[in-house]
Amino acid sequence: QKEVEQNSGPLSVPEGAIASLNCTYSDRVSQSFFWYRQYSGKSPELIMSIYSNGDKEDGRFTAQLNKASQYVSLLIRDSQPSDSATYLCAVLPVTRGFKTIFGAGTRLFVKA
Amino acid sequence: EAQVTQNPRYLITVTGKKLTVTCSQNMNHEYMSWYRQDPGLGLRQIYYSMNVEVTDKGDVPEGYKVSRKEKRNFPLILESPSPNQTSLYFCASRQVEGPEAFFGQGTRLTVV
């Protein structure tokens, strides 16, 4: 089992819709969770951090964390073509020291 | 401006010819790391450093070396590159207990 799993996609949504990106992780005691956006050929950009169960909103982005289910998600409201990118889920497991574990990413296409 | 600077951006080399990819950060971060990114595999950590003269292996260290003689610099050395090291490489720096928040621009390496 991979430590951080994401559906590779591509996920295609129409402009203005809600894009829902999902991630599961294996280390039950993980405390810190992150979402990155990566445009093709560019470096990852940190867009959301979440540390406790529930929802965290920042503009059009909402991160959701459910530690009991070992599940973290990212919702993008009012999706725009400029949101088309690969979204990486990352976890900072307590058992791995300070090492960040990245998922392989989900490709998102927003159709105009 | 806070940044991580990586050079070169693109490099084509031949098997066995030693090369160095440089990485420098201006944020006085203690933690620096190198990742490689391959399709379907996400970001995998090669080496990391918790401080000057303190380095350790990540998940895929074979064929790579690093050094940390100064806090700001963390070069990646390929003593004898092989075609399976063809990849996109990223250097990152951060506060020890934070997420990977600052990435270099990436180095696309091709070994023929």
Of B61, B66, B22, B23, the closest CA to residue B45 belongs to B61
Alpha helices in B1-112 (DSSP H): none
Q: Spell out which residues of chain B touch residue A8, defining contact as CB-CB under 8 Å.
A: 40
From first CA to last CA, the distance across chain B in angstroms is: 36
Give per-residue pLDDT as tens, B60-71: 999 999 999 999
- Give the mean model confidence (pLDDT) for residues B106-111: 98
pLDDT of B100 > 90? The answer is no
Q: Cis peptide before A10, with omega less than 30 degrees from 0? A: yes
pLDDT of B84 > 80? The answer is yes
- Give the mean model confidence (pLDDT) for residues B8-34: 96
Task: Kindly indicate the confidence band of residue A76, based on its pLDDT and cuts at 50, 70 and 90.
Answer: very high
Considering chain B, what percentage of its residues have pLDDT values greater than 90?
A: 89
Q: Give the model's pLDDT for residue B40.
A: 83
pLDDT of A82 > 90? The answer is yes
Closest-approach residue (CA) in chain B for A42? B105
For A69-91, letters b (16+ CB in 10 Å) and e give: ebebbbbbeebeeebbbbbbbbb
Q: What is the DSSP string of A54-88?
A: EEEEETTEEEEEETTTTEEEEEESS--GGG-EEEE
B42 interface with A at CB cutoff 8 Å = yes
User: Average pLDDT of chain A?
Assistant: 92
Q: Which residue has the higher pLDDT, B24 or A94?
A: B24
Q: Give the model's pLDDT for residue A87.
A: 97
- In this structure, what token pair is assigned to residue A52? 């406790």
- Give the mean model confidence (pLDDT) for residues B32-49: 93
Q: Give the model's pLDDT for residue B99.
A: 86
A100 to each of A31, B18, B48, B65, how far by Cα in Å?
A: 11, 29, 11, 20
- Separation between Cα atoms, residue B23 and residue B58, nearest integer Å: 17
Closest-approach residue (CA) in chain A for B108? A41
- Separation between Cα atoms, residue A107 and residue B15, nearest integer Å: 32
Hey, are the CB atoms on A41 and B41 less than 8 Å from each other? no
- Separation between Cα atoms, residue A84 and residue A35, nearest integer Å: 15
- Separation between Cα atoms, residue A74 and residue A48, nearest integer Å: 9
User: Average pLDDT of chain B?
Assistant: 95
Q: Give the model's pLDDT for residue A96.
A: 66
> Which of B88, B99, B104 faces A92 most closely, judged by CB atoms?
B99
- Give the mean model confidence (pLDDT) for residues A36-64: 95
Helix, strand, coil percentages (3-state) for chain B, rounded to 5, are 5, 50, 45
B45 interface with A at CB cutoff 8 Å = yes
Paired strand residues for A28: none
